[in-house]
Structure 1
Amino acid sequence: MKVDIEMGAVSSGKPALLDLEELLATRLLVQGNSGSGKSHLLRRLLEQSAPWVQQCVIDPEGDFVTLADRFGHVVVDAQRTEAELTRIAGRIRQHRVSVVLNLEGLDVEQQMRAAAAFLGGMFDAERDHWYPVLVVVDEAQLFAPMAAGEVSDEARKLSLGAMTNLMCRGRKRGLAGVIATQRLAKLAKNVAAEASNFLMGRTFLDIDMARAADLLGMDKRQAEMFRDLARGHFVALGPAMSRRPLPVTIGPVETSARSVSPKLMPLPETPEDARDLIFTPGPEEMRAPVRRAPPPPIPTADLIAQLSRPQPAPEPPEQPSFAIIDEAEREAGIAAVMRDILDDADAAFRTDAVLYQDFLVRCRIRRVPGEPLALPAFRRKLAVARAGVDPQAAKGEAWSAALEMSEKLPDDLQGVFLVVAQAAVAGAPCPSDATLARIYGSHSPRRARRLLTYFEEHGLLVLRTDFHGKRILAFPDLGCETAPGDPEAPDEATGARDAAE
């Protein structure tokens, strides 16, 4: 279905139309200095296309959250864990909901990690959910920088990899990238090069003008025109708008950003007590601590005399106010609570937050001494407990190596990895797809197979099938492998529960 949306007008007064279906297949790059109308252009594009296609906005400044009031976008606060953002992104693709990922309030490295996790979840969605989505990334130079900055290499690689997947491989998954940047020179070339449509706004630096002219197929003499473009005026090129460079004036929008450009305002009349207002501290400042002058220096002779005096005998240590906690007793209590939780057949299908609340209540009932575990430590102990390794195998080097390998995985994958690693260490049959799906908290055996493929792609294990069609998982770093197991076998825990009922 061909849908043309009106972006504004061309110099002749005719409407500037953008072929939305062509845009979904060819992607868009927007460039313009601060104040050139770049965010206004993105807002016009989002408003005009909102009735026709699902949208996802990566918003580092919180400017696009106002779309929620007029067009029904759901605002996702990025102050969550990376695993939560990944799962939310998968559900967004499943239910086809337009969202704004609000990154406001996070520092640059946190924004990069959150955006990478969110885009990764959209990219890794199941094939059945590959519906078309317009993914708009404002200030793309933050997430796909040309060179390393003050952030860590790990955060930069995660963010750049997610942006590269969006622009290079996202089309087959229904993801259409629309990226906007203040400076082309700061944007990674392999990300910018994948766009086939361009809207170039005002810019002043020679290197940015040269890159803009090169992308539009203009010679260097014509590059000077980018300095003269007014706010909201852009030069368009690409199969979705025009086959030749076309000046476009962006039309009005229905919503506005929370932060607007500063406007000149007349100064208020100077009050008569202006001097007192400036030099008299307010009530809050009066409560601030007073800085006292440092004490006078002590003469050297007095210091030597003080050091020469005999030191008094140390006072005996005070008895602790509270009883000393027996760590062995505490660990035994936590382990017993973990077993009680895992004995519940429905525990695998509850979220970590629900299980954590249940864990805290059970610890109080059993009077487990000491401070309760924090949520990250609880998730780790829960993943290890689900593996069910026997005490003798837990002392071996292979299991210690498996624990170290699992720490590098996301929180929601550690339990599945430790279960298959424990089967290899014990030489037990490979768990079935149904068993792995239950441990992951899903009813989909296909998702369990995808998890094993994920582990294999990251070099953690090697999957092979014997002559009888049974599956074997080999762990090169552990030096062991599982016994053959039937991947289609039913889940033993589910079968036992049904028999008991």
Structure 2
Amino acid sequence: MLAPANAKGIAFILMDSGIVLGTDEKGLPARLDLEELLSTRLLVQGNSGSGKSHLLRRLLEQSAGLVQQAIIDPEGDFVTLAERYGHIVVDANRTPNDLAKIANRIRHHRASVVLDLEGLDAEVQMRCAAAFLNGIFDADREAWYPMLVAVDEAQLFAPAGGGEISEEARRASLGAMTNLMCRGRKRGLAGIIATQRLAKLAKNVAAEASNFLMGRTFLDIDMARASDLLGMERRQAEAFRDLAPGQFVALGPALSRRPLRIKIGDVVTRGRSGRPELLPLPETPREDLEDLIFQPSPNDPEPAMPSQMVMPMRTTTDELIVQVETAGATAASEAKAEAQAIDAETLEAALDEIFAEILSEPEAAFRPEPVIYQDFQFHCRVKKLGAVAQDMATFRRRLALGRAGVSARDADDASWSQVLAVSENLPVEMQGVFLMLARSAGEEAPCPSDESLARAYGSHSPSRARWLLTYMENQGYILCETDFRGQRVVSFPGVGWRTAPSAPKAAQGQARASLQKRRA
């Protein structure tokens, strides 16, 4: 490291490794240490037009060949990195499950990507970013390679307040951003977040950054927060108003040990929306302009239909009810016609595929049933399965079978029919546990562990699983025994099924410790 001093004797640290962001006030290279950044994260702040996107582009271009990158791009400005540096552009117009799976593959294959959120409204952008970031965060340990995760306009994804966004979307996005900044380091993730205003960014997200690049800002509250983060006196905060576009004050272990003003260097690629520049007005005479404006042109868009320009008449309540009932009947008849066009075997195979996809999500066991049902309806509409998507009772039964690993074809067996008839006497939330035990008993497989039974019940608590077994035994549905080694065996008296002994408690303890370690 080099430590040049300015006229006041203050030493500035310049890294002898990493990338060059630009130059300092003396014209010396201003460097950023990538290895240090991977452990300490970066926050960039500046008003619109201060050069934040230019700074991010410079950082990403300089480090493109050194470390894997993922960019959350709400405006589609960074997709131009693809042609020059080989980034893969991921269109966010996908299901959350698809985005999570793509993000997981990205980590395993170490591909640099740009998540293009352009054209989506704010709430959809938040949901897509949350699914993508969670997919990156939840990757298996063997895929925890070093990765820069840059989030432009971070105040959209980690807002300080709720605004007009639904609480569910805000929590999902804020939780993903918090995981990135608070817990991402152990997984090799280095968060780089850029925001127009610190006051709009959630404090628990901003507080996790140890490196700062503060650009031009004018509001007192933003200048005060910037000066606090940089350890500057309040009277020095006014200096942020004097920064030119592309100038930033740098501080942090990956940048400088003392506040250092730097000028960001040039970039190779360009965004779609550059800095506005003045253009001379056309020198067309006024008469010609009038002809161009008032005379029709072959390139004119189609005019709006009269019905779109006339104010609609108010609809009475009775008329509205009739319209809703008619629309519902029409949709039901169309769905029934679609279902009748599918043979039974194809329908069962499609439903098995849908439930397998839904239940393959890591948190599927803990999602509320109405949310899973909405996801199921969406998949049914996509596959054009018809009215089956409207049958809540059938859905609950199939969900219980799916959680137990029992296919609809297995349920046609005589013994299974008897077991299913017995399960209907249990509360709906317990049927999945009962059927999971029945499947193991029917296959003479080892009795499921407490953790597996709790998951089928939608709980994280193994003690809740043991309570369920006690309850079902007291009601006469099953018979629980323990052999001399302390291994559990469950029997089904009505059909003569019996599980093999459960795994030894030592193995269960290891599995439980491994699960707790992954959650930590």
Q: Same fold (TM over 0.5)?
A: yes
The residue type equivalent to 1:58 in the other structure is I
1:398 aligns with 2:433: no
Which of 222, 226, 230 is matched with 1:212 structurally? 226
The residue type equivalent to 1:273 in the other structure is D
Deviation at 1:270, TM superposition (A): 2.5
Deviation at 1:123, TM superposition (A): 0.9
1:52 aligns with 2:66: yes
Give me the whole-angstrom Cα distance separating, in 1, the residues matched to 2:22 and 2:208: 25
The residue type equivalent to 1:392 in the other structure is A
Contact 1:431 1:487 survives alignment (8 Å): no
- Structure 1 stretch displaced more, 249-258 or 387-396: 387-396
2:165 is matched with 151
Deviations 1:141-191 (A, max 9, x none): 001100111110010000101111111111011111010000000001111
Within 5 Å, which residues of 2 pair with 1:164-313?
164-271=178-285, 272-282=287-297, 288-290=304-306
Structure 1 gaps, min length 5: 295-319, 353-358, 364-369, 404-417, 437-447, 474-481, 489-501
Deviation at 1:287, TM superposition (A): 5.7
Q: Provide the aligned C-alpha RMSD in A.
A: 4.7
Deviation at 1:279, TM superposition (A): 3.1
Which of 329, 343, 346 is matched with 1:337 structurally? 346
SS in 1 for 2:169: helix
The residue type equivalent to 2:27 in the other structure is G
SS in 1 for 2:427: helix
Give me the whole-angstrom Cα distance separating, in 1, the residues matched to 2:177 and 2:244: 30
Give me the whole-angstrom Cα distance separating, in 2, the residues matched to 1:397 and 1:451: 16
Contact 1:432 1:487 survives alignment (8 Å): no
1:103 aligns with 2:132: no
SS in 2 for 1:273: helix
User: CA distance change for structure 1 residues 434 and 205 in 2, over 3 Å: closer, same or farther?
Assistant: farther
The residue type equivalent to 2:427 in the other structure is A
1:5 aligns with 2:14: no
The residue type equivalent to 2:274 in the other structure is V
Give me the whole-angstrom Cα distance separating, in 2, the residues matched to 1:450 and 1:173: 29
User: CA distance change for structure 1 residues 175 and 265 in 2, over 3 Å: closer, same or farther?
Assistant: same
Deviation at 1:381, TM superposition (A): 9.2
Identity %: 56
Deviation at 1:104, TM superposition (A): 0.8
Which of 138, 155, 161 is matched with 2:152 structurally? 138
2:518 is matched with none
Contact 2:218 2:240 survives alignment (8 Å): yes
Deviation at 1:3, TM superposition (A): 3.8
1:85 aligns with 2:99: yes
Give me the whole-angstrom Cα distance separating, in 2, the residues matched to 1:117 and 1:326: 30
1:422 aligns with 2:431: no
Which of 120, 124, 133 is matched with 2:134 structurally? 120
1:65 is matched with 79
- Structure 1 stretch displaced more, 207-216 or 254-263: 254-263
2:516 is matched with none
User: CA distance change for structure 1 residues 485 and 194 in 2, over 3 Å: closer, same or farther?
Assistant: farther
- Structure 1 stretch displaced more, 379-388 or 142-151: 379-388
SS in 1 for 2:123: helix
User: CA distance change for structure 1 residues 372 and 2 in 2, over 3 Å: closer, same or farther?
Assistant: farther
Deviations 1:316-345 (A, max 9, x none): xxxx99xx899799689765434557999x
- Structure 1 stretch displaced more, 204-213 or 268-277: 268-277
User: CA distance change for structure 1 residues 183 and 451 in 2, over 3 Å: closer, same or farther?
Assistant: farther
Within 5 Å, which residues of 2 pair with 1:321-360?
336-339=345-348
The residue type equivalent to 1:4 in the other structure is G
User: CA distance change for structure 1 residues 109 and 273 in 2, over 3 Å: closer, same or farther?
Assistant: same
- Output the TM-score relative to the length of structure 1: 0.69
Deviation at 1:373, TM superposition (A): 6.8
2:514 is matched with none
Contact 2:440 2:447 survives alignment (8 Å): no
Give me the whole-angstrom Cα distance separating, in 1, the residues matched to 2:35 and 2:335: 66
Deviations 1:343-383 (A, max 9, x none): 99xx99xx99xxxxxx99x99xxxxxx858789x9999975
Give me the whole-angstrom Cα distance separating, in 2, the residues matched to 1:61 and 1:373: 39
Give me the whole-angstrom Cα distance separating, in 1, the residues matched to 2:279 and 2:446: 67
Within 5 Å, which residues of 2 pair with 1:369-384?
371=386
Give me the whole-angstrom Cα distance separating, in 2, the residues matched to 1:85 and 1:126: 16
2:50 is matched with 36
User: CA distance change for structure 1 residues 245 and 434 in 2, over 3 Å: closer, same or farther?
Assistant: farther
Deviation at 1:276, TM superposition (A): 3.5
User: CA distance change for structure 1 residues 264 and 120 in 2, over 3 Å: closer, same or farther?
Assistant: same
Contact 1:233 1:248 survives alignment (8 Å): yes
The residue type equivalent to 1:192 in the other structure is A
SS in 2 for 1:252: coil
Give me the whole-angstrom Cα distance separating, in 2, the residues matched to 1:185 and 1:218: 18
Give me the whole-angstrom Cα distance separating, in 2, the residues matched to 1:293 and 1:189: 46
Contact 1:429 1:485 survives alignment (8 Å): no
Deviations 1:17-44 (A, max 9, x none): 1111001000000000010000000011
Aligned length: 410
